[in-house]
């Protein structure tokens, strides 16, 4: 018979018996079931869906998401959701045909190799057109609302792949939950992100109704050339009794790039993803690697004869780091050039007058384009560069029909509320209210206002100034030749008075600089400004228009 001590020792020995070794790659039945369930959403297990995308020369939503995020850095939310159609379809059919309820959503890192994991944080919402035409289902709405709340709380930049047809009428399971769904918070919650985090919209193919409503709230819209975008698709148009139209007839790219809806048109989804990553990079920080071109070329870009035009794109690209300039809305408001660039890796927004269109006069569309970029830069803390060569605002009866008064004044209102620094460089002409609007409302509103030696200034166009200001003197001279001589004399005096050097002598501008020193001035300006947290922006959102 064992003693109590022996019994305890025996008990300890039993407790210390090792369990059989389990291989690390052993998959238990419960894990195997979860893995199998997730596999239904993978492209390799959906050959028919992939084949349909290949027929239209498009990629799947998963392929776009995989291309967007750094390798191995994406985690998906709500992957096991299916369409709310259990009353009309079997569960196995829903699992096979409606993976993730038509929306791939999650978080990860984008451009992590450039900026590090902390700055590379990003969220994606990607509609899957292979699932019920990318429509907005009951459960993908729940998923969106969950993720959008996280994006707001954690200040996560968001990229939206918006291809799809809007609301989905076939989700019969939701009938017991809501009647019309008009209390759905998705659109308000998504719109609340404007100005809070960078919002990038990407489209390839059809984007209508609810999908387009989300897309239109984004800071920037990148669309492939085969895209069609509209607030209403063919079904809504026909239902309203407005006729029968094919999807391709509604909002094609030749319309949506010229009217300013689309910021950047690209060839295909691969380019769209690459551009989305590049756009986002400007709001992620400074790049360590950069290259600059020969700055001496800037000395000869502006023609010596003031009436001759030049290519403003050559100026921008020469000043910017190589391959760093990304233009926005190139086919809309061509009198103004807007975009993003870098100086020694440091990101800035840029607005520039285009002397090759209407001599650089500011029209309604160009003013809207510039004002909106000011908002984007202000809410996300990017400094602005303004390159000026303008005779002022465009005038005349026809331009006033386009609400010129309201549109151009957006530059004054938004510029005056902007809290990011603006660096103003006058390349050549700086006349009237137009050039003041280019400088946040006045030359002393910018962090600095400098001019190249080619700069010329006036309260209005000098020819008009002389004709209007000396009308009585001209009327008193009967001899046409004498009258012309007086005009030439007065005009020459005005040009001399408005030279860059003379303006600087009156301290109306801060300096006249060698064009080759432009990058030096910009870099020193960037090094001299105080950091400003994004939440300190006075304007808290970006206008959709």
Model pLDDT for residues 264-274, shown as the tens digit of each residue = 999 999 999 99
What is the token pair recorded at 510? Answer: 């801060």
Write the DSSP assignment of 366-421 as a string of letters.
Answer: HHHHHHHHHHHHHHHT--EEEEEEE--B--SHHHHTTTHHHHHHHHHHHHHH--S-
Buried b (16+ CB within 10 A) or exposed e, 20-42: eeeeeeeeeeeeeeeeeeeebbe
Is 480 contained in some domain? no
How confident is the model over 163-203, as pLDDT tens digits? 999 888 888 887 666 667 778 899 999 999 999 999 999 99
**Same domain (yes/no): 110, 217:** yes
Whole-number average pLDDT of the chain: 91
C-alpha pair distances (Å), 90 with each of 34, 37, 93, 417: 19, 15, 5, 57
- Averaged pLDDT for residues 500-525: 96
| Same domain (yes/no): 187, 309 | no
Tell me, yes or no, whether 367 and 412 share the same domain.
yes
Sorted by sequence, the CB contacts under 8 Å of residue 235 that are 6+ apart come out as: 165
Sign of CA dihedral 265, 267, 273, 279: negative
Q: What is the pLDDT of residue 409?
A: 96
| 276 in the same domain as 335 | no
364 and 438 in a single domain? The answer is yes
Question: For residue 14, is pLDDT > 50?
Answer: no
Q: Which pair of structure tokens corresponds to residue 528?
A: 């001299």
> pLDDT-based confidence at 414, cuts 50/70/90?
very high
229 and 312 part of one domain? no
Q: Identify whether residues 222 and 307 lie together within a single domain.
A: no
Look at residue 315 and tell me if it is in a domain.
yes
Closest CA to 207 of 261, 251, 257, 269: 251
Task: Please report, for residues 236, 292, 300, 354, 420, the alpha-carbon distance to residue 383 in angstroms, rounded to integers and kept in the order given.
Answer: 43, 19, 27, 21, 5
Two tokens, residue 537: 């922006």
Helix (H, G, I), strand (E, B) or coil at 132: helix
Per-residue pLDDT at 176: 65
527: in domain = yes
| Enclosing domain of residue 445 | 295-455+499-536
For residue 430, being part of any structural domain is answered with yes
Dihedrals phi, psi of 326, to nearest 5 degrees: -120, 110
Whichever domain contains 385, its CATH number is 3.90.226.10
| 468 has pLDDT over 80 | no
Work out how many domains the chain is built from and give that number. Answer: 2
Residue with the bigger pLDDT between 7 and 533: it is 533
Q: Report the predicted TM-score, pTM, of the whole model to 2 decimal places.
A: 0.91
Instruction: Decide if 376 is inside a domain.
Output: yes
Residues 122-129 have a mean pLDDT of: 97
């Amino acid at each position: 018979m064992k003693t109590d001590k022996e019994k305890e020792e025996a008990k300890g020995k039993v407790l210390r018996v090792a369990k059989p070794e389990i291989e690390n790659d052993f998959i238990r039945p419960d894990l195997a079931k979860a893995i199998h369930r997730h596999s239904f959403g993978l492209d390799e297990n959906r050959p028919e869906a992939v084949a349909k995308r290949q027929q239209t020369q498009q990629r799947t939503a998963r392929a776009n998401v995989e291309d967007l995020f750094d390798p191995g850095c994406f985690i998906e939310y709500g992957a096991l959701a299916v369409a709310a159609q259990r009353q009309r379809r079997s569960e196995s059919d829903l699992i096979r045909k409606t993976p993730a309820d038509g929306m791939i959503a999650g978080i990860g890192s984008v451009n992590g190799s450039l900026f590090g994991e902390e700055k590379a944080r990003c969220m994606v919402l990607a509609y899957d057109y292979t699932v019920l035409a990318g429509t907005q289902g009951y459960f993908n709405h729940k998923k969106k609302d969950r993720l959008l709340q996280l994006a707001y709380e954690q200040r996560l930049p968001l990229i939206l792949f918006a291809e799809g047809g809007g609301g989905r009428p076939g989700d019969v399971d939701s009938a017991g939950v809501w009647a019309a769904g008009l209390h759905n918070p998705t659109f308000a919650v998504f719109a609340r992100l404007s100005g809070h985090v960078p919002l990038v919209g990407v489209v390839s193919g059809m984007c209508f109704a609810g999908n387009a409503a989300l897309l239109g709230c984004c800071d920037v819209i990148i669309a492939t050339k085969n895209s069609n975008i509209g607030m209403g698709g063919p079904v809504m148009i026909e239902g309203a009794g407005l006729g029968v139209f094919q999807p391709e007839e509604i909002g094609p790219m030749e319309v949506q790039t010229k009217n300013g809806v689309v910021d950047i048109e690209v060839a295909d989804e691969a380019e769209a993803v690459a551009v989305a990553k590049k756009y986002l990079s400007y709001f992620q920080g400074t790049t360590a690697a950069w290259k600059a071109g020969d700055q001496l070329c800037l000395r000869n870009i502006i023609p010596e004869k003031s009436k001759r035009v030049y290519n403003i794109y050559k100026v921008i690209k020469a000043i910017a780091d190589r391959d760093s300039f990304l233009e926005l809305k190139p086919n809309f408001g061509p009198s103004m050039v807007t975009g993003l660039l870098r100086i020694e890796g440091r990101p800035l927004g840029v607005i520039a007058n285009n002397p090759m269109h209407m001599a650089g006069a500011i029209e309604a569309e160009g003013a809207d384009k510039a004002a909106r970029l000011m908002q984007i830069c202000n809410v996300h803390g990017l400094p602005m560069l303004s390159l000026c060569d303008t005779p002022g605002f465009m005038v005349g009866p026809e331009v006033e029909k386009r609400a010129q008064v309201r549109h151009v004044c957006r530059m004054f209102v938004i510029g005056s509320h902007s809290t990011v620094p603006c660096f103003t460089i006058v390349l050549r002409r700086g006349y009237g209210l137009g050039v003041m609007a280019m400088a946040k409302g006045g030359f002393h509103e910018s962090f600095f206002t400098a001019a190249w030696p080619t700069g010329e200034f006036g309260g209005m166009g000098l020819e008009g100034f002389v004709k209007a200001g000396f009308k009585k003197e001209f009327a008193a001279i009967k001899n046409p030749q004498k009258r012309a001589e007086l005009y030439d004399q007065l005009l020459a005096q005005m040009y001399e008075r408005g030279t860059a050097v003379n303006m600087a002598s009156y301290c109306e501008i801060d300096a006249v600089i060698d064009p080759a020193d432009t990058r030096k001035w910009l870099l020193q300006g960037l090094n001299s400004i105080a950091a400003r947290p994004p939440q300190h922006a006075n304007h808290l959102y970006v206008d959709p228009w």
